[in-house]
Chains A and B, each alone.
Chain A
Amino acid sequence: GAGVSQSPSNKVTEKGKDVELRCDPISGHTALYWYRQSLGQGLEFLIYFQGNSAPDKSGLPSDRFSAERTGGSVSTLTIQRTQQEDSAVYLCASSASGGAGETQYFGPGTRLLVL
């Protein structure tokens, strides 16, 4: 079946603008993750959604970052008043149920450049 999809693939924006990044997980997967990957760095956890439970927002770096997941499927990550340090690749992943050691399936990422 279809994998995880993300849009847009690339986004160039000016400092101070808001951006929205979209993630479409694998159908039937209840767990969804957002990560940030800066050049030469590992994956930085941002937020986790599991079914109808309250999301784990512990990785969001500031209150400019927010995310929602509608209908247990599509998720949107919003960055308000973007800063140059927000430039990175934003990766979305989904897994079947969020259990320990479960395989996470990643989308291709959105490359964000803040000028």
Chain B
Amino acid sequence: QKEVEQDPGPLSVPEGAIVSLNCTYSNSAFQYFMWYRQYSRKGPELLMYTYSSGNKEDGRFTAQVDKSSKYISLFIRDSQPSDSATYLCAMDKSNYQLIWGAGTKLIIKP
């Protein structure tokens, strides 16, 4: 079993919809939780970062961490075609090494 599980999709939704992306994990030692966005033929870029449990909001994006359920989510409100990308979750065991999900390919249809 992988330490981090993420549905690869693709997930296709109409423009303006609310998108929910999720990852589950097995290692309770994870403390730092990140979402990276990767456009086609580009490197990943950090989108959201959360330490321990709770919610974090940045514009149309909200990241949630539920450590009791070992489950993290990324919500995108008012989705736009420019949000079409692959979204990767990543987790840190309090050192430099991130453990990555497989990434979910998101398609926003105009």
Q: What residues of chain A have their CB less than 8 Å away from a CB belonging to chain B?
A: 4, 31, 33, 40-43, 45, 48, 50, 56, 91, 93, 95, 98-109
Contacts and interface: CB of A to CB of B under 8 A. Distances in A.
A106 B97 contact: no
Contacts of B45: 105-106
Contacts of A45: 97-98
B42 to A, nearest CB: 6
A100 B95 contact: yes
Nearest to B88: A42
Contacts of A108: 41-43
Given A40-B102, A42-B102, A48-B96, A101 B31 contact: yes
Interface string B41-57: 11111100101000000
B8 A103 contact: no
B49 A106 contact: no
Nearest to A58: B97
A44 to B, nearest CB: 8
Interface string B82-103: 0000001010101111101111
Given A100-B32, A104-B98, A106-B45, 10 more contacts: A4-B43, A40-B102, A41-B102, A43-B98, A98-B96, A99-B96, A100-B95, A101-B34, A101-B94, A106-B43
Contacts of A95: 96
B51 A101 contact: yes
B23 to A, nearest CB: 10
A106 B98 contact: no
B96 A102 contact: yes
Contacts of B32: 100-101
A42 B31 contact: no
B6 interface: yes
Given A40-B102, A41-B102, A42-B102, A101 B92 contact: yes
Contact of A31 (B8, B96, B100, B103): B96
B92 A100 contact: yes
Nearest to B96: A98
